[in-house]
Amino acid sequence: MDAGLLKRWIVGRPMPLAQARHERLSKTIALAVFSSDALSSVAYATEEILLVLVLAGAAAAHLSVPLALAITGLLLIVVVSYQQTIHAYPSGGGSYIVARANLGATPGLIAAAALLIDYVLTVSVSVAAGVAALTSAFPALHEHRVAFGVTFIALIAFANLRGVRESGRVFAVPTYLFVGTFAFMVATGLWRWLQGDLVPLPSRGMAETVPLTWFLVLRAFSSGCTALTGVEAISNGVPAFKPNESRNAAITMGWMAGILGVLFLGITVLAWALQVTPSEDETVVSQIARALFGRDVFYFLVQGVTMLILLLAANTSFADFPRLSFFLARDRFIPRQFANQGDRLVFSNGILILGGLAAILLVAFRGSTHALIPLYAVGVFISFTLSQASMVRRWMRKRGEGWWWRVGLNAVGAAATGVVLITIAMTKFTHGAWIVVLLIPTLVAAFLTMHRHYEEVATQLSLESMEPPPPLQNTVLVLVGDLHRGVLKALQYAQSLSGNAKAVFVESDPERTHRLEQRWAKWGMGLPLIVLTSPYRSLLGPLLQYVDHILEQGGDNHIVTIVLPEFIPARWWQHLLHNQTALLIKGAMLFRKNVIVTDVPYHLKH
């Protein structure tokens, strides 16, 4: 009962199923819920580009602007492609669904594995970056960053266990604060730059450690591609929009891409204009805000909203991971427990697993955004590529109105994201991408194994080509070791089950048998007492022999019920003071086909 109360207090009152239909989001709220992941990458994408470029010396940093332009171009391609997906799949067009429908089961599962990994990493990376925004403002907290990160993950999981609409409402304000604050910062910065009013930050004197090669530039580009993570989130969540779902989702996605592109380019240009050098202790955004406004109220506002939008980004995964898990569980590729809706209409198991994995990753990588980034983009671009390729296939099959330009759009998307995927996998392989490259086939193999198991079970349990079976014959045995109230209750119970119930006693000492037999006349409830001898004082051996004997005589339609008297002590430690005979017998009978063991508990008072 106490555990139940605790659960009520944490996740709130249960909601009846009828309430499910009303959990829909307006465009404004949906932008907050689904776009925070994509928007929040503004907080770290520029920094990740610079971190690679400055390996070739501070002079190479000017390449960040053309790279950001290229990435923004890629963003446009991806978003236009996905808007087509949203219209084609109004009931939710995640890469799993789309790839499975158009390319087949295995490509679908590859996309699913990539997405699941991506969702976990979104939580870890966003929370790590959110904590970095906090510790940039308050350097004393830097050493506690892992503890902060784990706490944030726990709080977000908690919010999600309570249900999605509430989280949407709670989180809408900070998203718009973020957009407004960053837009103001970018506008102010660019205005002052155009006025020639911008003083570059003092150089930190980064030494050139490697030559500026094409490979390095591609690595910087790969790091910057994390700006695109989360762009697809809306296409997974179409059914959460108010009607008309597809149209609203596509419009929201357009807005999101516009905001993301402007802010990302703006921050990158400002970082270049201010000659920001990336550092372990302070984020690039923090350095820009400090250069523009000093450590004043507006600086802290920038850091605050950065942290909040990143925590919201983590929250996006808490909507999408459980939803994808539900699809996979429904299709029997992962344990069916992921298809159970909790009493607040959320998929609690998915939320808990996601929070747990993300926290483990965060601890393992010591809360460092940079260490996690190489794992991040691979999964995202696998799902992009598979999703676009699926759409190409779909249009070519359907050949509806304007199919040729639709094919063209998605083909460009597939080609672009495919090339980027290969670039990322190659340039980041040794930095951690190999983990994801190995994990995806492992997950796919696991999905297929579980699927085979569920199919097999369904076949074995199927009633097809079967006739209703004849009634069973049942021999009821009560195992007695003594005569007391607990045993009496078991004898009564056995009597209620069958008119031919028998009591069985395994003899360890003839004297005890004699005493029992004397008392049996009065207390035996009329059941015959069968005494089995046991030369080695084993209880189990003679009992098993006797049961097997009955089963052999009875044939396939015969079953043996063993009734076990068991007294239940009132306190846990008292269990240690009694022989665990019941457990022993249940264990021994577990794999015998036609034996059923029934405990008859007798509850002690104290």
Q: Can you give the binding site for a copy of itself, defined by CB under 8 A?
A: 14-17, 335-337, 340-341, 343, 450, 453-454, 456-457, 460-463, 466, 468-469, 471-474, 483-486, 488, 492-493, 495-498, 508-509, 522-523, 525, 535-538, 559, 567-569, 574, 576-579, 590-591, 593, 596-606
At its nearest, how many Å lie between a copy of itself and the CB of residue 43? Answer: 38
Question: Between 60 and 329, whose beta carbon lies closer to a copy of itself?
Answer: 329
Question: Between 546 and 567, whose beta carbon lies closer to a copy of itself?
Answer: 567
> Among 361, 410, 431, 417, which residue's Cα sits nearest to residue 119?
361
Residue 170 CB neighbours (<10 A): 14
At its nearest, how many Å lie between a copy of itself and the CB of residue 492? Answer: 5
Following DSSP, what letter does each residue of 196-262 receive, concatenated?
A: T-PPPPPP--PPP-S---HHHHHHHHHHHGGGGTTTTHHHH-GGGBPSSHHHHHHHHHHHHHHHHHH
Question: Between 205 and 469, whose beta carbon lies closer to a copy of itself?
Answer: 469
Distance CA 335, CA 329 (A): 6
> Among 380, 396, 316, 443, which residue's Cα sits nearest to residue 102?
396
Question: What is the Cβ-side half-sphere exposure of residue 378, based on CA atoms within 13 angstroms?
Answer: 26
Residue 213 dihedral angles phi and psi, to the nearest 5°: -105, 170
Q: In what order do the strands lie in the sheet with 473-480?
A: 529-533, 502-507, 473-480, 558-568, 595-603
Distance CA 252, CA 241 (A): 10
At its nearest, how many Å lie between a copy of itself and the CB of residue 44? Answer: 36
DSSP alpha helix (H) spans, 365-481: 369-398, 403-428, 433-461
DSSP alpha helix (H) spans, 524-564: 540-554
Question: Between 433 and 476, whose beta carbon lies closer to a copy of itself?
Answer: 476
Question: Between 399 and 512, whose beta carbon lies closer to a copy of itself?
Answer: 512
At its nearest, how many Å lie between a copy of itself and the CB of residue 543? Answer: 15
Question: Between 210 and 472, whose beta carbon lies closer to a copy of itself?
Answer: 472
Question: Between 140 and 466, whose beta carbon lies closer to a copy of itself?
Answer: 466
Distance CA 220, CA 205 (A): 20
At its nearest, how many Å lie between a copy of itself and the CB of residue 331? Answer: 14
At its nearest, how many Å lie between a copy of itself and the CB of residue 240? Answer: 20
Question: What is the DSSP code (8-state) at residue 598?
Answer: E
At its nearest, how many Å lie between a copy of itself and the CB of residue 407? Answer: 39
- Please report, to the nearest 10 degrees, the dihedral formed by the alpha carbons of residues 442, 446, 447, 450 taken in order: 170
Question: Between 281 and 456, whose beta carbon lies closer to a copy of itself?
Answer: 456
At its nearest, how many Å lie between a copy of itself and the CB of residue 158? Answer: 20
